[in-house]
């Protein structure tokens, strides 16, 4: 009987596949995969609960490579473990349309749980996974039936810990006592610019202990020490764990290990030959012994784990059929069968009820109605809940109740948003998060990552313009709407009254593969009259709110609080015999997706006299009014004063709209 293969040799398989792929691509980062290979071998072969034959098995452990530049590490692991990642896929590393892109990308590679590129966000996604697991377990597990029961593991590096988001989210993770969260820190002391001691001298152990984490230090190349540390981390159930692994970047390379040169560039053919000799590796590039594949293959073990879980779930179904059906529905991302009808009834109720209301209050009213229909709606705010009105009747913070439905994120806009991406990725919840529109800027990259991954996260942004008044230009958004609207896959809604606010919420909830940004006002907005067709057309993103009373001569396009101004101008212009219509465009991205005949019916191409009005930067609207049209809005920052004074100061008035239309007609 042949002697068992050493753990070091199994780890070396990761090293050689990684540097071979980087060398073939002539691009990539070999240092981290080589340095973390021993840690990865221990975690993936001894602890990680997963099934390469079914990467989407629900109760799998989640693994996140936060230091995503080391992507050949995860690709090697997936290939060795038996996922549908072939040698040819490894040879196609960083090539167009391959399964092995430069950084791990959700949807490209089976077994990749989240897109990681910008450092630190993988940490936040992992914390989102852990929050979702803990909360879903509290909502659905019953005595003797731990149907939701898995760990979240993440690898991270110095760069992840230098990014500010790491503080935001790791602080919260300690507060939430996420005992099934285990991080492995690749403490190699090197970044692209060299030895990090010149710019990163934090006491990481003390920092995380202050957060409330268990911290363990090990030699990251000692398999026995890594095994013991991982066992200790799993045993600790009331604290998240950070395992600080002292490693050598590029481990195994005789001339480049421990140096920044191995971080982000191929080793080179000569150094690879020397490294093969140093590792006693006799095979040609991308070739491995069959016994290595057999030792790594995780399909049999993973299938057994999944089958055992499935048997437990069948017993759970018999004991708790309604709970099981609800869990399955939520994990599939489907809405309740009666949701759409009840939601439409509520929208119609808002139209019939009328009344002037700030859209932030209309939003809260909508949440109060929709949340009882959707127990998966998991809300949260970066503080400010009393201002952005995101707390709803029956809200229970998960800080106080593990089975709760609301997260008090504290002042952590970036961290909150990236955590919400992780919650959505995990499944079982539709997360919404909230802050002032201005502070979307802190969260901007996480908003983009959610859109890139097509995750159903709802971003609630209030205090949407100079209309917030006295807080002044630091709090008054100007360019933010344009930034959001030009983000691919993101749907940005700026409703003008309670009816449009309710519609925006419903459409965001139904938007399974798009995040949404819901933009709400601080100030009260007038209710608009609509017939049934107009109410229905809100879902098309733009529609004719007020029809011309004589032959059409001009069009006014408006959103949000400025729809009221447009309607006032419409009344005066119509009385003066001008054939003008008002188009409300709460979601321009959806409007441009409509068929050409509908767009033409709303914005006839032959009507060149067009005016757009919005208390935000003017540039976005020229795509709708043309260079010959006029846009009334902002080209500078705001000022500190009451809202009504600011609208006059910056010329966003009914009179300005009338004058603009008249000049064009």
Residue ranges at the known binding site for substrate: 29, 263, 360, 387, 463, 471, 475, 522
Q: Strands 194-195 and 190-191: what pairing?
A: antiparallel
CA dist., res. 132 & res. 380, Å (int): 13
Measured CA distances, 578 to 173, 212, 549, 553, 554 (Å): 60, 67, 8, 7, 8
Which residue is catalytic, options 7, 41, 133, 413? Answer: 413
CA dist., res. 419 & res. 413, Å (int): 10
**Rounded to 5°, angle at Cα 120 from 386 and 85:** 125
Contact 208, 180 (CB under 8 A): no
HEC string of 305-317 equals HHHHHHHHHHHHH
Active site residue 413: yes
Q: Which residues define the annotated binding site? A: 29, 69, 117-119, 158-159, 188, 190, 263, 360, 387, 439, 463, 471, 475, 522
Helices (H), 190-338: 204-211, 223-235, 269-278, 290-296, 299-319, 321-331
Contact 615, 442 (CB under 8 A): no
Residue environment code for 81-119, b if the CB has 16+ CB neighbours within 10 A, otherwise e: bbbebeeebbbbbbeeebbbbbbbbbeebebbbbbbbbb
Q: Which residues define the annotated binding site for Mg(2+)? A: 158, 188, 190
Q: Strands 516-519 and 491-493: what pairing?
A: parallel
CA dist., res. 626 & res. 617, Å (int): 16
Q: What is the DSSP letter of 288?
A: -
Q: Which residues define the annotated binding site for thiamine diphosphate? A: 69, 117-119, 159, 188, 263, 439
CA dist., res. 450 & res. 385, Å (int): 22
Contacts of 522 (CB under 8 A, 6+ apart): 358, 360, 462, 463, 464, 467, 468, 469, 643
Contact 125, 422 (CB under 8 A): yes
Distance of CA 362 to the CA centre of its chain: 25
Annotated catalytic sites, by residue? 413
């Amino acid at each position: 009987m042949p002697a068992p293969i050493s753990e070091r040799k199994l780890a070396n398989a990761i090293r050689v596949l990684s540097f071979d792929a980087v060398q073939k691509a002539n691009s990539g980062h070999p240092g981290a995969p080589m340095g973390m290979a021993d840690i990865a071998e221990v975690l993936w072969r001894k602890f990680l609960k997963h099934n390469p034959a079914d990467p989407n098995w629900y109760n799998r452990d989640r693994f996140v490579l936060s230091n995503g530049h080391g992507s050949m590490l995860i690709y090697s692991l997936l290939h060795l473990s038996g996922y549908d990642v072939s040698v040819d896929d490894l040879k196609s590393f960083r090539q167009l349309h391959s399964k092995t892109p430069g950084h791990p990308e959700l949807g490209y590679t089976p077994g990749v749980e989240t897109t990681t590129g910008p450092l630190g966000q993988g940490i936040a996604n992992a914390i989102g996974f852990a929050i979702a697991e803990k909360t879903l377990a509290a909502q659905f597990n019953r005595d003797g039936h731990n149907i939701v029961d898995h760990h979240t593991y993440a690898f991270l590096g110095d760069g992840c810990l230098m990014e500010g988001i790491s503080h935001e989210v790791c602080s919260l993770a300690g507060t939430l006592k996420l005992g099934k969260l285990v991080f492995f820190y690749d403490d190699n002391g090197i970044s692209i610019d060299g030895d990090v001691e010149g710019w990163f001298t934090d006491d990481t152990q003390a920092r995380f202990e202050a957060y409330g984490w268990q911290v363990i230090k090990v030699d990251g190349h000692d398999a026995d020490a890594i095994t013991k540390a991982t066992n200790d981390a799993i045993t600790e159930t009331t604290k998240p764990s950070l395992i600080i692994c002292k490693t050598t970047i590029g481990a195994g390379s005789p001339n480049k290990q421990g140096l920044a040169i191995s971080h982000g560039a191929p080793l080179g053919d000569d150094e690879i030959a020397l490294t093969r000799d140093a590792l006693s590796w006799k095979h040609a590039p991308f070739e491995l012994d069959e016994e290595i594949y057999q030792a790594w293959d995780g399909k049999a073990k993973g299938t057994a784990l999944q089958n055992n879980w499935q048997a437990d779930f069948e017993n759970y179904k018999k004991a708790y059929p309604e709970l099981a059906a609800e869990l399955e529905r939520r994990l599939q991302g489907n809405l309740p069968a009666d949701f759409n009808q009840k939601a439409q009834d509520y929208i119609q109720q808002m139209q019939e009820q009328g009344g002037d209301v700030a859209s932030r209050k209309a939003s809260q009213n909508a949440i109060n109605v929709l949340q009882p229909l959707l127990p998966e709606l998991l809300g949260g705010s970066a503080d400010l809940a009393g201002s952005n009105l995101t707390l709803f009747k029956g809200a229970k913070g998960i800080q106080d109740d593990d089975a709760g439905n609301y997260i008090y994120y504290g002042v952590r806009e970036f961290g909150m948003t990236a955590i919400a991406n992780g919650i959505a990725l995990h499944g079982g919840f539709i997360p919404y998060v909230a802050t002032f529109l201005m502070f979307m800027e802190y969260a901007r990259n996480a908003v983009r990552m959610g859109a890139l991954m097509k995750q159903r996260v709802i971003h609630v942004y209030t205090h949407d313009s100079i209309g917030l008044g006295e807080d002044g230009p630091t709090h008054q958004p100007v360019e933010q709407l344009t930034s959001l609207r030009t983000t691919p896959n993101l749907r940005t809604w700026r409703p003008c009254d309670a009816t449009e606010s309710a519609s925006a919420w419903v459409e965001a909830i139904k938007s399974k593969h798009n995040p949404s940004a819901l933009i709400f006002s601080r100030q009260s907005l007038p209710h608009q009259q609509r017939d049934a067709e107009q109410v229905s057309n809100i879902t098309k993103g733009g529609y004719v709110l007020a029809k011309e009373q004589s032959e059409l001569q001009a069009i006014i396009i408006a959103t949000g609080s400025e729809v009221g101004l447009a309607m006032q101008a419409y009344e005066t212009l119509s009385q003066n015999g001008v054939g003008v219509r008002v188009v409300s465009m709460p979601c321009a991205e959806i409007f441009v997706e409509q068929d050409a005949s509908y767009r033409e019916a709303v914005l006839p191409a032959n009507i060149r006299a067009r005016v757009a009005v919005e208390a935000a930067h003017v540039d976005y609207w020229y795509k709708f009014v043309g260079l010959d049209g006029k846009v009334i809005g902002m080209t500078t920052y705001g000022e500190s004063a009451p809202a009504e004074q600011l609208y006059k100061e910056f010329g966003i008035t009914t009179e300005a709209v009338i004058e603009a239309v008249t000049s064009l007609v």
